[in-house]
Structure 1
């Protein structure tokens, strides 16, 4: 929030996205979490708020986001890591459909089926980890390297351009200025249909990280949430005793 104020950049020129973590799901907890984010960021509204995971009481949390959207505190509401079945379920029964679904998608995990359903339900697909963190040798993939050489671009730029051309919003992450500049330099060329098809053939149809549909993953999240709540309760009790 302090950085926003000190930047001097008009609020309307900044797009702010935040997420509600699964431990803050449920109607009341979600509202509290969003209000806390607004206070910390020192802003009256957020441009996009996402539910981070498809677990726990995300229906209660979604009702809170719907209300906050109608109140003007959120300009757009969406979800993250929702597989097609849960996305369709929420989109079908919610008053306001999710506007965005942020998922892992890159040449090795193209989310073809998920994107088809998102398009059908009017949900914009957004890519987190559009480079897959380079796992599985993605940056050294021969097809991507050859395509990069053809256009005079890096493999990262080829991946960004490929996603953009198939209608995916990308949010590349970097702490290096030169990489940030490089990531923006993808609007002066277009990949041919043939090159798009070559990259499409790289799909391994599997996550480079973990599957949110794996029961072991769900158990890991449950355990993590329980530990966090326990730690928070302990910290609150300690603060109370000190007072």
Structure 2
């Protein structure tokens, strides 16, 4: 597995396992499978309700915690809870996180960000992340942050390359981590003739071509799968390289098409949702 370097000098694997929409049982098994297949980056969240299972998967594997880059996300309802970071660590069964995000730009997100900054100073987290931030709230956070974030997690794929956000992030050296990296499984994207042509050329699948495009774009990519074969195949993208001409051809596919439409009303609704994190299995 190859790595990127974050703006604070911490290294992060280019590719990892996302556990969004996985049940606890699925997440635990997927984590074990991923670690056995060479993955070292695992991503979860309070709201996924599978943090405990991710922790169990880590302990069940033969890979030590020190070898793993582990990330999670605080939900807006705990942004003002001074114990939120410690409770997240407890659920995962670890004394630190390599990366901790704010999950949504909702509620008192600056109070949440101050928590992350303090956890960073205390050595409880090695990097700070923000997720789904955009527009004025992204600008506000970057202006007010005493410690600038290392990573932003947003939807990104060849149909939506996040060019505007990347322009904002570039001066800060903030890396983009892509969710929905395969366009939420959109067959139109997966079966683009260009990807089929490149897959034939390199002896890869269309999915592997897209994931390779992500890392060459400089994106950290976290495809989610519960199928051991797919998990293994998703990581098999480091033995070839797309040419600059091929990257330019893929760039023409950008339609600014997204599968999740953020808006303030939805984010405020998320902020009011109550998640029973403690009751998760």
TM-score (norm 2): 0.74
2:256 to 205, 216, 223: 205
Query: Partners in 1 of 2:112 and 2:243 — Cα distance?
Result: 42
SS at match of 1:228: coil
Stretches of structure 1 that go unaligned for 5 or more consecutive residues are 233-243
Does 1:63 pair with 2:114? yes
Match of residue 228 from structure 1: 274
1:53 to 89, 104, 107: 104
Equivalent runs, 1:75-224 vs 2, <5 Å: 75-135=126-186, 137-210=188-261, 212=262, 214=263, 218-224=264-270
- Cα deviation, residue 89, structure 1: 2.4
Match of residue 10 from structure 1: 64
The answer to whether the Cα contact below 8 Å between 1:136 and 1:208 also exists between their aligned partners in 2 is: no
Match of residue 44 from structure 2: none
After superposition, the Cα gap between the structure-2 partners of 1:8 and 1:188, relative to the gap in structure 1 and judged at 3 Å, is closer
SS at match of 2:141: helix
The answer to whether the Cα contact below 8 Å between 1:84 and 1:113 also exists between their aligned partners in 2 is: no
Does 1:36 pair with 2:82? no
Which stretch of the first structure deviates more once superposed, 65-74 or 31-40?
31-40
Query: Partners in 2 of 1:23 and 1:137 — Cα distance?
Result: 37
Provide the aligned C-alpha RMSD in A. 1.9
Deviations 1:170-206 (A, max 9, x none): 1111111111111111111111111111110011113
Query: Partners in 2 of 1:223 and 1:100 — Cα distance?
Result: 24
Does 1:74 pair with 2:128? no
Does 1:25 pair with 2:25? no
After superposition, the Cα gap between the structure-2 partners of 1:153 and 1:6, relative to the gap in structure 1 and judged at 3 Å, is closer
Kindly indicate which of the two structures has a greater share of residues assigned to helix.
Answer: 1
Largest Rg, 1 or 2? 1
Query: Partners in 1 of 2:56 and 2:195 — Cα distance?
Result: 40
Higher RCO (Cα < 8 Å, 6 or more apart): 2
Which stretch of the first structure deviates more once superposed, 115-124 or 170-179?
115-124
Match of residue 239 from structure 1: none
After superposition, the Cα gap between the structure-2 partners of 1:18 and 1:196, relative to the gap in structure 1 and judged at 3 Å, is same
Deviations 1:47-70 (A, max 9, x none): 110001111111010001100110
Stretches of structure 2 that go unaligned for 5 or more consecutive residues are 1-54, 277-281
SS at match of 2:259: coil
The answer to whether the Cα contact below 8 Å between 2:106 and 2:270 also exists between their aligned partners in 1 is: no
